[in-house]
């Protein structure tokens, strides 16, 4: 696999603005497109989670990533509604971030995309009914979580020049596990896939 090495000048004043622009570009592919506020939220999420101190925590003498199930347990045991909402927002954000950007890494540990969709979608669904603000954003994230995974993955990917062998390899992976992220990669290459198992 070769990456496009052409240097593109950076014109954005912040990482969140850069990601918002990329997200808006991919949002145009959907009908209807996601709300502008949702793209803004996702751009800020990517900016924030791009810093290690927002992803990793220090536990038992080393840096680690708190499992989503433990974050959910923390939310269930929260002392008040505000704390519960903050924990569920972090859970939803982490599920979206890891599910979109590192699905293969987690799949090697037996954690499939459905896990991220279930955890993140449920967290955002709770926030859509109970958060103090941004309920419309959380509602859209909950109802279109799979689409948001695809959008974030595309916004963070680099332009790739794939050879025929690599494209066929992607298609074989999709045939084997029907992974929506692989289907999204194929779509960006102009290859539509459906449940019929035939290229279109």
Q: Which residue has the higher pLDDT, 126 or 28?
A: 126
Q: Is the pLDDT confidence value at 160 over 90? A: no
In the prediction, which pLDDT does 74 show? 95
Q: Which residue has the higher pLDDT, 130 or 103?
A: 130
Q: Which residue has the higher pLDDT, 161 or 67?
A: 67
Buried b (16+ CB within 10 A) or exposed e, 10-27: eeeeebbebbbebbbebb
Angle among Cα 42, 45, 48 to the nearest 5 degrees reads 155
Average pLDDT across the chain, whole number: 81
For the residues of 23-79, what is the DSSP string, one character each?
HHHHHTTSSSPPPHHHHHHHHHHHHHHTSHHHH-EEETTEEE---HHHHHHHHHT-S
- Sign of dihedral through CA atoms 72, 152, 180, 98? negative
Place of tokens 């958060």: 131
pLDDT tens digit sequence for 49-103: 877 777 777 777 777 778 899 999 999 999 999 999 999 999 999 999 988 888 7
Q: What is the dihedral of CA 199, 112, 137, 46, to 10 degrees?
A: -90
How many other C-beta atoms are found inside a 10 Å radius of the C-beta of residue 61?
A: 6
119 within 8 A of 187, measured Cβ to Cβ? no
In the prediction, which pLDDT does 114 show? 87
Q: Is the pLDDT confidence value at 12 over 90? A: no
Q: Which residue has the higher pLDDT, 46 or 104?
A: 46
Q: Is the pLDDT confidence value at 170 over 80? A: no
Q: Give the pLDDT band (50/70/90) at residue 140.
A: very high
In the prediction, which pLDDT does 14 show? 72
């Amino acid at each position: 696999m070769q990456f496009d090495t052409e240097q593109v000048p950076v014109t954005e004043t912040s990482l969140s603005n850069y990601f918002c622009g990329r997200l808006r570009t991919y949002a145009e592919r959907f009908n209807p497109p996601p709300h502008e506020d949702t793209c803004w939220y996702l751009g800020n999420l990517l900016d924030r989670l791009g810093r290690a101190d927002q992803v990793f925590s220090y536990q038992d003498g080393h840096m680690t990533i708190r499992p989503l199930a433990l974050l959910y347990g923390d939310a269930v045991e929260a002392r008040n509604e505000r704390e519960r909402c903050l924990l569920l927002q972090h859970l939803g954000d982490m599920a979206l971030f890891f599910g979109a950007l590192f699905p293969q890494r987690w799949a090697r540990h037996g954690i499939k995309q459905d896990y991220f969709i279930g955890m993140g979608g449920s967290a955002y669904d709770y926030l859509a009914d109970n958060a103090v603000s941004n309920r419309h954003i959380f509602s859209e994230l909950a109802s279109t979580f799979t689409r948001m995974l695809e959008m974030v993955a595309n916004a963070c990917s680099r332009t790739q020049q794939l050879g025929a062998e690599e494209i066929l390899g992607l298609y074989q992976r999709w045939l084997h596990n029907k992974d929506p992220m692989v289907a999204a990669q194929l779509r960006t290459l102009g290859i539509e896939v459906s449940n019929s198992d035939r290229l279109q």
